[in-house]
Amino acid sequence: MANIVVFASGSGTNFQAIIDAVESGKIAGQIRGLITNKAGIGAIERAKKHSIKYSVLSPANFPDADEFAQVLLQQLEEWETDLIALAGYLVKIPTEIIKRYEGRILNIHPALLPKYGGKGFYGLKVHQAVIENEELESGCSVHVVTDEYDAGPVLAQAKVAVKKTDDASTLAARILEEEHRLYPKVIAKMADKINAKRG
């Protein structure tokens, strides 16, 4: 069983989609913990409800980036992490973590990468840009995390039509539904690969 750790900074709806997929057996893995940079968020409530351990680690609470990275690494090792799933996590992943878990850190982005990716493109800002540029379609992308924001290999995408009546919020809501379907499927495939390597 692949050991999955989820990183989230907000309400945790994608985290919930992963929890549901694990609990229903669609993902052959277990969620060992939640890492977040904020206390008092919805994702923590979801973790508590499902008896998942969580750790609040914010770079702001450490003297420097190196110490933050070391504490994060220790936590991931303690949970015997095989796979990291970013689910609305708004902190850049330290290089040491990316190297250590190369090819095993996934992120879901609310646009069709490489369009509308990179620093500053997150949340409603992405959907606003899509609408302002009069795009006919948008969607979500699951990609491997590398040192550069949203630049890692794209593993899967789901598309939605952009309606003339859409604003950033209505488009975000429709794309979020696709995220909840797509992300657990990609995580399931990655967990199967990890499990197969173990034999």
**Token digits of residue 136:** 């006919």
Question: Catalytic: which of 50, 109, 127, 180?
Answer: 109
b/e map 54-71, b = 16+ CB within 10 Å: bbebeeeeeeeeeebbee
109 has catalytic annotation: yes
DSSP-derived letter for residue 101 is T
Count the Cβ atoms, other than its own, within 10 Å of residue 138: 26
Tell me the DSSP string of 159-176. EEEPPTT--HHHHHHHHH
Whose tokens are 């630049």? That residue is 151
Distance CA 6, CA 184 (A): 12
Distance CA 161, CA 135 (A): 9
DSSP-derived letter for residue 80 is T
Any idea which residues carry the catalytic annotation? 109
